[in-house]
Structure 1
Amino acid sequence: MTAMSREVVERLLRASRERDTETFVGLFAPDGYIEWPFRPAGVPGRVEGRDQLREFLTMQANGLVEFDEYRNTVIHETIDPQVVIVEYEAHGTVIPTGAPLHQTVIAVLRIRDGLVVSYRDYLNPLVLAEILADVGNV
């Protein structure tokens, strides 16, 4: 893994935690995407392109959870210098309910020329399903 790839991942995580949508989106290639292979019903499987990422983060994700910190963050090197695997625990609050949030995440990112071209987010879908159910009851 190149130092640039590690830096991109660190900046991406910081922007996510700080809810800095413009910095987060700016770290993606114009056609970059995030996908969630495991997710509850109603959550898109993939959001592609900067405009769609911005819209998704602004209209949906930013109103749902607020992250206070990421703990136990480990960034793994791979044989492919463009591929980075990161694992961490996200701690925060479910905004509509005020409930605490603890989510375990493993993500696989492909970074080319300093920009994220793909971000596969393997979050715990059970936690997300519970959040969505609780918010639906508010």
Structure 2
Amino acid sequence: MNTTARDVVERVLRAGRDLDVDRFVGLMAPDGYIEWPFRPPGVPARVRGRDDIRRHLTEVGDGFIRIAEHRNVVVHETTDPEAVIVEYEARGTVVPTGAAFEQTVVAVFRVRDGQILSYRDYINPLPLLDALASVSGGVRA
């Protein structure tokens, strides 16, 4: 069976939603990276390599936001067989407060030989800033 870039991307999105760090990291190339071009303060610009990705996902996945579902998922396969673009809405809960969380995402993946070389996550940082403010009792600037 030939695994396509789309198959790999769908697996990594499912692993991320399910907080399955081992499966997620296993789909990354050894020197692959996740990048957040638009991010709130405190979020790194890039995390590279399986060990650092595992560490980051474990810290982030440790109870701040739980994603219950991805909605309105649109996968764009491109003329480049390694490039996949995904649009979706992530819906879940801010764990410390129980508040609803919704995030709009556009992600650009580069996949080769069944592994993700790069995952550029173009999140809307405003919902994350609101969630952080709700936990700290502050007001988003």
CA contact (8 A) 1:77 1:83 kept: yes
What is the match of residue 72 of structure 2? Answer: 72
Q: Distance in 1 between matches of 2:10 and 2:63?
A: 23
State the Cα distance separating 1:122 from its structure 2 match.
0.4
Where 1:63 maps in the other structure, the secondary structure is: coil
Where 1:132 maps in the other structure, the secondary structure is: helix
Q: Distance in 2 between matches of 1:37 and 1:62?
A: 23
Q: Distance in 2 between matches of 1:10 and 1:107?
A: 12
> Could you tell me which amino acid in structure 2 is paired with residue 21 of structure 1?
V
CA contact (8 A) 1:19 1:62 kept: no
Percent identity, aligned pairs only, is 60
What is the match of residue 84 of structure 1? Answer: 84
Q: Give unpaired runs (5+ residues) of structure 1.
A: none
Residue deviations 1:20-60 (CA, integer Å, cap 9, x gap): 01001110000000000001111111111111111111112
The answer to whether structure 1 residue 60 and structure 2 residue 60 are counterparts is: yes
Normalising by structure 2, report the TM-score.
0.92
Residue deviations 1:54-79 (CA, integer Å, cap 9, x gap): 11111123421111110111110111
What is the match of residue 107 of structure 1? Answer: 107
State the Cα distance separating 1:3 from its structure 2 match.
5.4
Q: Give unpaired runs (5+ residues) of structure 2.
A: none
Matches within 5 A, 1:1-138: 4-137=4-137
For the aligned residues, what is the CA RMSD?
1.5
Q: Distance in 2 between matches of 1:105 and 1:70?
A: 10
> Could you tell me which amino acid in structure 2 is paired with residue 54 of structure 1?
R
> Could you tell me which amino acid in structure 2 is paired with residue 32 of structure 1?
G
